[in-house]
Amino acid sequence: MSERVTVRDIAQESGLSIATVSRVINQQGQVSENARVRVTEAIARLGGTAPRPRPRLPKPELPVLVRCPYKLSDYFGGLVTAAAETLALSGRQVLLDVGDARRSAPVLRELPGARTASGAILILPPEPAEDLELLQRRRFPVVVVDPREPVPRGMVSIAAAHTAGARALTRHLIERGHRRIGVISGPANWLTGADRIAGHLAALSEAGLLGSPELVRHGEGAIPTGVTAGGELLDLPEPPTAIVCFNDKVAVGVFQAAAERALRVPHDLAVTGFDDSEMSRATAPMLTTVRQPLPEMGRIAVTMLARLLDGQALDALHIELATELVVRGSTGRD
């Protein structure tokens, strides 16, 4: 049997470096065809066989980062839970980065070089567009769920059909006879808020109505926003007969503002929410709202990220999942 020659022997015979010979034998890195031929010929001249390639050990798989820098309320909790459970079922480790205290942490800027995660699911990322663009330039696998602003070209994003959901709500109110409808939207610079206002205006236009800027307010998706903004709308010389709220929490605040003015829901004022959280079923009367497919959004985010990690081509870079109008007592009953 022929003896195995050493890498050093081959390097001396071929005139190549030990490192180049090693890359040829182990089929690693970029090696020219000329180098491959010289190594093969050197082994033949030495009358032996090539060294056995080093066994390739599987690289330990890094966890997937799920970043949600907000309190895990019904809305955010549903998304995070669905994503984490789906990752666990697929055998991938999860690295959670959650809570209000994490909102200003420079996580995205550090991700590409940190080697702590294989990819990331970012839920309503508060970071500026430049941070997302950095991840895109570094080819770091990312899926954005419910983006706050438009994501960089080529980045995967998933959201509910906000425009269609808001359109359905306003159309429902118009069918109930309302013509002067107030809107409490999210922060003015949020993509979600803009999409929902677009849906609201589309429904008004379909009915031959015009939207009025004096009937629109913006604010965080919290109960105090509903109390303050709802109070402003109800104190107008000609107040609205219905108010469309950014989410169920804001709607609860509007309930409070109405009660402070001795207005009854829905007899004096119709109120709608968005999200179909548990809170929507705790009001009296219960809240008409729009159901978002939160678990499905979390599961699809994992599926899309897995395809990115596996190097698969994606047919769609932006996915919108259908919403559902849920009619309850806060807008009256037929």
Q: Where are the domains of the chain?
A: 7-46, 64-161+294-322, 163-293+326-331
- The CATH classification number of 163-293+326-331 equals 3.40.50.2300
Please state, in angstroms and rounded to a whole number, the distance separating the CA atoms of residues 184 and 302: 32
Residue written as token pair 């690693």: 28
Specify the pLDDT at position 56.
Answer: 55
State whether residue 98 is helix, strand or coil: strand
How buried is 146 (Cβ within 10 angstroms: 0-12 exposed, 13-18 middle, 19+ buried)?
A: buried
Q: Determine if the peptide bond prior to 266 is cis (ω within 30°).
A: yes
Q: Report the CATH superfamily, name and number, of domain 64-161+294-322.
A: Response regulator (3.40.50.2300)
Question: Helix-strand-coil percent breakdown of the chain, rounded to 5?
Answer: 45, 15, 40
Residue written as token pair 């820098």: 69
Helix (H) or strand (E) holding 2: none
Specify the pLDDT at position 1.
Answer: 43
Q: Which candidate, 238, 241, 248, places its Cα nearest to that of 331?
A: 241
Residue written as token pair 């409808």: 181
Helix (H) or strand (E) holding 319: strand 318-321
Specify the pLDDT at position 175.
Answer: 96
DSSP state for residue 140 in the 8-state scheme? -
Specify the pLDDT at position 20.
Answer: 82
Q: At what angle do helices 223-234 and 248-260 cross, to 10 degrees?
A: 50
Sequential pLDDT tens for the chain (334 residues): 456 778 788 888 888 887 788 778 777 666 788 888 888 888 888 777 766 666 554 455 789 999 999 888 878 888 999 999 999 888 888 999 998 888 888 888 888 777 888 899 999 999 888 889 988 888 889 999 999 888 988 899 999 999 999 999 999 999 999 999 999 999 988 999 999 999 999 999 999 999 999 999 999 999 999 999 999 999 999 999 999 999 999 999 999 999 999 999 999 999 999 999 999 999 999 999 999 999 999 999 999 999 888 887 777 789 999 999 999 999 996 5
Contacting residues for 180 by C-beta, under 8 A, at least 6 apart = 212, 215, 238, 239, 240, 241, 242
The domains spanning 64-161+294-322 and 163-293+326-331 adopt the same CATH topology? yes
Please state, in angstroms and rounded to a whole number, the distance separating the CA atoms of residues 221 and 243: 15
Specify the pLDDT at position 28.
Answer: 67
